[in-house]
Amino acid sequence: MSKKPADPPKAYRNRKFLDSFDARPLRILAEYQEPQSRFEEAEVSDTIVFMGSARLLPLDEAERRMAKAKQSGEDIEAAEMGLAMARYYEDARELARRLTEWSKTLEGNRRRFVVCTGGGPGVMEAANRGASEARGLNVGLGISLPKEAHGNPYITHNLSFDFHYFFMRKFWFIYLAKAIVFFPGGFGTLDELFETLTLVQTGKLKKSCPWCSTAPTTGTAS
């Protein structure tokens, strides 16, 4: 007795098709629609975005590495730089904590001025950490990269994202932002800074969006 042939897969469950060139518009649309659905479910109305280097260390870790370098006599210069730059990690952490505490006092059911980062280590981790310490929601807009770690442990679970397309990630950075804070960083931070400036210059970003920079960007990779 012959077996009944298997049912063909539904198009929206066909992994081979969804990963194909032809389905690229669907993947792009998913990176718009799926975050929008999650933001609405969490009642997030707008964000304050933190951008900066992924290489910065918390002060205690920088001090530990400095002590180890002095003991071994190796990598002292790098440890000194790490210790000097750790202040920006702590600044981002403290600012995110204060902003989150303030935002929780606002009236209304919607969550306003939610801390948002790129979801990685360094300045991003610091901001997510500060918001978490204030017991507030925070967002991590991560990106899949070959040699980079995924989301830091301080991101609110249901607001941790892993984008494939840089331009869709950048869209969500800007679309919800009510303010942007730039910390020292490298090429990635400069890219985000100048793209935002370009949107302002060309009139594509019409909303009022205050921003500040804590220091000039450095050559450190972001």
- Cα(200)–Cα(193) distance, rounded to whole angstroms? 11
* pLDDT bucket at 212, cuts 50 / 70 / 90: low
Residue 218 has pLDDT above 90, yes or no: no
Residue 73 pLDDT: 85
Average pLDDT, the chain: 91
Q: What pTM value is reported for the model?
A: 0.88
More confident residue, 222 or 142: 142
Q: Per-residue pLDDT averaged across 186-203, rounded?
A: 92
Q: What is the pLDDT of residues 90-104, one digit of tens each?
A: 999 999 999 999 999
**Cα dihedral 38→41→43→44 (10° resolution):** 0
- DSSP single-letter state for residue 44: B
More confident residue, 171 or 4: 171
Q: What is the pLDDT of residues 48-63, one digit of tens each?
A: 999 999 999 999 999 9
> In angstroms, what CA-CA distances link 81 with 11, 149, 199?
53, 22, 34
Residue 3 pLDDT: 74
What domains are there in the chain, each with its CATH number? 43-58+89-213 (3.40.50.450)
Residue 5 pLDDT: 77
Q: Per-residue pLDDT averaged across 197-222, rounded?
A: 67
Residue 105 has pLDDT above 80, yes or no: yes
Q: What are phi and psi of 111, to 5 degrees?
A: -90, 120
Q: Per-residue pLDDT averaged across 158-165, rounded?
A: 96
208: left (phi over 0), alpha (psi -120 to 50) or beta: beta
Mention every residue, 6+ apart, whose C-beta is less than 8 A from residue 45.
110, 111, 112, 176
